[in-house]
């Protein structure tokens, strides 16, 4: 039949077969001004590739094509129709027909360019309102392409995840990526946002006091590793990350009516940084399992008093935040992009790094950053993820289950404070200090057990005493009955019944 299609017989077939007769060739395809199609006869000669028209509509120049669908007779339909760019070559009678897909005939590089037009082409923020934010042309993203078939899904996801830059936002309580917050139930302290709201109304509420030590509670353990909400298979494809560290602790905060000594401020800062680094250690542990090409870090200090900002304090805090990343290695391009501070109350903002002002502090910081980058790109980790960190996660888990088990034990109220102290020891990599805390935990546990034991023996004594009282009369009856029991009758040789 293929021979026939191309040969002389095919021309003969098209002349005879009624499946291909086409009245459209004789009618004008022009569109009337009032709408609808012109009913005049078409006038020749036809320019090739253009739909036939009458004299009036000859300027409309609609592109034409011949229908490629297979008719029931086995020949191509061949009817003339108006072709719209990117459309299939099918007449209106065959629009529902399936056609061979030419998408896989083009090279994969070109297909990737198609995916680039449909999928995000900007770094993906941790939070975004709609998909327009993901594209440089502010058009919607069409992820439906991922559902077309298996091959397109594989190619397009590889393109999206391997070449895209993904942002992870780290705050004290959670890690957010692709609009997906952490799986952890948030039992942890949420810092009030009233401060920012109040700035607009001009009312200043002194709570929460910035230098107040937050109530110490034992959290639901976060665990040593972050499990992102994104499917594991896709997450492991990602090679480029932008990490946004949001540290909501006021740096060098000065507020009227608050007189906090510098030592207290530093103590609270160290404490807050240690708690914040819980999230960073979890993140770094997860990133260690990936091969990273690009790692960009931005640090944002919120609620800072910009006017009285001390560079030294900011740099000390920044180092504490950057330190956990030194467990990473073989990162091709590690970089600290910026360090900023803002003060929503006074709508102030300060760019601390890179800084326009060159001082000995900023130069020293830039030098340190250079060696930090070298550490991350070297083939060995410069910071061993050491025993204190491992022991800390074990301790956190243990304290949580002990507390869960005996909620009412007043001794266990100390655990919150001890855990926080263990955190600080962890950050300082101070094994000696950690051991002291650990000894204290063990001591508390044995005190609890000793108390339980003495309670147990006291209770047993009481049970016996009360048993003695309530069974006293029954005891007397028993003695009387015993006199007539077979036991002593037998010893006298008296025959027993049964
Ligand atoms: Zn036919
Ligand atoms: Zn016409
Ligand atoms: Zn057709």
Please report where in the chains the tokens 């229908």 appear, as a residue. 67
Give mean pLDDT, residues 107-131: 93
How many residues does the structure list for the chain? Answer: 498
Contact between residue 392 and residue 404 where contact means Cβ atoms under 8 Å apart: no
- The yes-or-no verdict on residue 177 having pLDDT over 90 is yes
What distance in angstroms lies between residue 88's CA and the mean position of ligand 1's atoms? 21
Contact between residue 348 and residue 309 where contact means Cβ atoms under 8 Å apart: no
What distance in angstroms lies between residue 95's CA and the mean position of ligand 2's atoms? 25
Q: What is the per-residue pLDDT for 267?
A: 82
d(CA 304, CA 281): 24
Per-residue pLDDT band for 373 (boundaries 50, 70, 90) equals very high
What distance in angstroms lies between residue 95's CA and the mean position of ligand 1's atoms? 18
What distance in angstroms lies between residue 218's CA and the mean position of ligand 2's atoms? 82
Q: What is the per-residue pLDDT for 210?
A: 38
Which pair of tokens denotes residue 412? Answer: 């266990």
Please report where in the chains the tokens 């009036």 appear, as a residue. 56
Give mean pLDDT, residues 331-340: 93
What distance in angstroms lies between residue 104's CA and the mean position of ligand 1's atoms? 30
Helix (H) or strand (E) holding 81: strand 80-82
d(CA 427, CA 326): 13
What distance in angstroms lies between residue 103's CA and the mean position of ligand 3's atoms? 22
Q: What is the per-residue pLDDT for 405?
A: 83
- Delimit the domains of the chain by residue range: 1-100, 164-377, 387-464
Contact between residue 219 and residue 400 where contact means Cβ atoms under 8 Å apart: yes
Q: Which ligand is nearest to the CA of 19?
A: 1
What distance in angstroms lies between residue 19's CA and the mean position of ligand 2's atoms? 26
Q: Which residue has the higher pLDDT, 487 or 458?
A: 458
Residues whose Cβ atom is located within 5 A of ion ligand 1: 17, 19, 73, 75
- DSSP structural state of residue 341: E
**169 — alpha (psi -120 to 50), left (phi > 0) or beta?**
beta
What distance in angstroms lies between residue 85's CA and the mean position of ligand 3's atoms? 17
Q: Which ligand is nearest to the CA of 96?
A: 3
What distance in angstroms lies between residue 36's CA and the mean position of ligand 2's atoms? 11
> What is the tens place of the pLDDT at every residue in 12-36?
888 888 888 777 678 898 999 888 8
In this prediction, what percent of the chain has a pLDDT beyond 90?
A: 44
In this prediction, what percent of the chain has a pLDDT beyond 70?
A: 81
Q: What is the per-residue pLDDT for 397?
A: 92
Give mean pLDDT, residues 401-414: 87
Q: Which ligand is nearest to the CA of 95?
A: 3
Contact between residue 172 and residue 248 where contact means Cβ atoms under 8 Å apart: yes
Q: Which of 425, 449, 427, 450 is nearest to 438 (CA)?
A: 425
**Helical pair 108-118 and 150-163, crossing angle rounded to 10 deg:** 70
Q: Which of 366, 306, 295, 283 is nearest to 329 (CA)?
A: 295
What distance in angstroms lies between residue 357's CA and the mean position of ligand 2's atoms? 74
What distance in angstroms lies between residue 458's CA and the mean position of ligand 3's atoms? 97
Indicate the burial class of 116 (C-beta count within 10 angstroms; 0-12, 13-18, 19 or more).
Answer: middle
Q: What is the per-residue pLDDT for 496?
A: 43
Phi–psi pair at 18, nearest 5 degrees: -80, -10
What distance in angstroms lies between residue 23's CA and the mean position of ligand 2's atoms? 14
Contact between residue 160 and residue 116 where contact means Cβ atoms under 8 Å apart: no
Kindly give, in sequence order, each residue whose CB lies less than 8 Å from that of residue 344, ignoring residues fewer than 6 positions away.
195, 196, 199, 302, 303
- The yes-or-no verdict on residue 212 having pLDDT over 70 is no
- The yes-or-no verdict on residue 283 having pLDDT over 90 is yes
Contact between residue 352 and residue 405 where contact means Cβ atoms under 8 Å apart: no
Q: Which ligand is nearest to the CA of 12?
A: 1
Phi–psi pair at 242, nearest 5 degrees: -120, 120
What distance in angstroms lies between residue 35's CA and the mean position of ligand 3's atoms? 25
What distance in angstroms lies between residue 36's CA and the mean position of ligand 3's atoms? 22
What distance in angstroms lies between residue 19's CA and the mean position of ligand 3's atoms? 9
d(CA 116, CA 482): 98
d(CA 249, CA 242): 21
Q: Which ligand is nearest to the CA of 89?
A: 3
Q: Which of 246, 249, 484, 202 is nearest to 346 (CA)?
A: 202
Q: Which ligand is nearest to the CA of 21?
A: 1
- The yes-or-no verdict on residue 270 having pLDDT over 80 is yes
What distance in angstroms lies between residue 84's CA and the mean position of ligand 2's atoms? 19
- DSSP structural state of residue 233: H
**Helical pair 431-470 and 387-405, crossing angle rounded to 10 deg:** 20
Sign of the CA dihedral with 492 first, then 495, 497, and 498 last: positive
What distance in angstroms lies between residue 402's CA and the mean position of ligand 2's atoms? 88
Contact between residue 277 and residue 320 where contact means Cβ atoms under 8 Å apart: yes
What distance in angstroms lies between residue 60's CA and the mean position of ligand 2's atoms? 9
Per-residue pLDDT band for 223 (boundaries 50, 70, 90) equals confident
């Amino acid at each position: 039949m293929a021979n026939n299609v191309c040969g002389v017989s095919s021309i003969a077939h098209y002349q005879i077969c009624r499946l291909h007769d086409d009245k459209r060739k004789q009618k004008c395809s022009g569109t009337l001004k009032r709408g609808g199609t012109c009913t005049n006869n078409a006038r020749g000669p036809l320019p090739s590739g253009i739909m036939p028209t009458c004299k009036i509509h000859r300027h409309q120049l609609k592109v034409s094509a011949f229908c490629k669908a297979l008719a029931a007779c086995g020949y191509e339909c061949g009817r003339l129709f108006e072709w719209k760019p990117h459309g299939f070559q099918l007449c209106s009678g065959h629009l529902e027909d399936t056609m061979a897909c030419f998408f896989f005939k083009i090279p994969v590089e070109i297909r990737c360019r198609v995916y680039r037009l449909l999928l995000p082409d900007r770094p993906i923020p941790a939070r975004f309102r709609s998909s327009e934010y993901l594209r440089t042309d502010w058009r919607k993203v069409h992820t439906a392409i991922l559902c077309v078939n298996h091959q397109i899904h594989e190619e397009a996801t590889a393109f999206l995840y391997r070449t895209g830059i993904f942002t992870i936002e780290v705050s004290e309580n959670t890690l957010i990526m692709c609009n997906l917050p952490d799986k952890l139930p948030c039992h942890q302290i949420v810092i009030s946002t009233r401060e920012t709201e109040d700035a607009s109304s001009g009312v200043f509420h002194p709570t929460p006091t910035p230098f107040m030590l937050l109530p110490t509670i034992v959290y639901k353990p976060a665990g040593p590793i972050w499990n992102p909400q994104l499917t594991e298979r896709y997450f492991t494809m990602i090679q480029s990350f932008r990490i946004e560290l949001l540290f909501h602790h006021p740096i060098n905060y000065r507020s009227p009516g608050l007189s906090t000594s510098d030592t207290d401020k530093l103590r609270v800062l160290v404490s807050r940084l240690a708690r914040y680094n819980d999230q960073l250690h979890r993140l770094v542990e997860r990133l260690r399992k990936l091969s990273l090409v690009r790692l960009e870090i931005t640090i944002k200090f919120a609620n800072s008093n910009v006017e009285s900002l001390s560079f030294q304090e900011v740099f000390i805090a920044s180092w504490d935040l950057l330190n956990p990343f030194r467990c990473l290695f073989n990162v091709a391009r590690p970089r600290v992009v910026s360090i900023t501070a803002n003060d929503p109350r006074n709508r102030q903002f300060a760019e601390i790094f890179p800084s326009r002002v060159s001082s000995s502090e900023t130069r020293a910081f830039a030098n340190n950053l250079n060696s930090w980058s070298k550490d991350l790109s070297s083939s060995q980790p410069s910071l061993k993820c050491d025993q204190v960190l491992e022991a800390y996660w074990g301790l956190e888990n243990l304290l949580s289950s002990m507390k869960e088990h005996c909620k009412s034990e007043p001794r266990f109220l100390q655990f919150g404070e001890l855990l926080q102290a263990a955190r600080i020891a962890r950050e300082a990599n101070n094994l000696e200090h950690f051991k002291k805390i650990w000894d204290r935990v063990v001591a508390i546990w044995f005190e609890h057990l000793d108390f339980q034991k003495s309670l147990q023996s006291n209770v047993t004594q009481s049970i016996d005493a009360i048993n003695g009282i309530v069974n006293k009369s029954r005891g007397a009856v028993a003695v009387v009955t015993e006199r007539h029991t077979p036991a002593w009758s037998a010893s006298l040789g008296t025959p027993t019944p049964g």
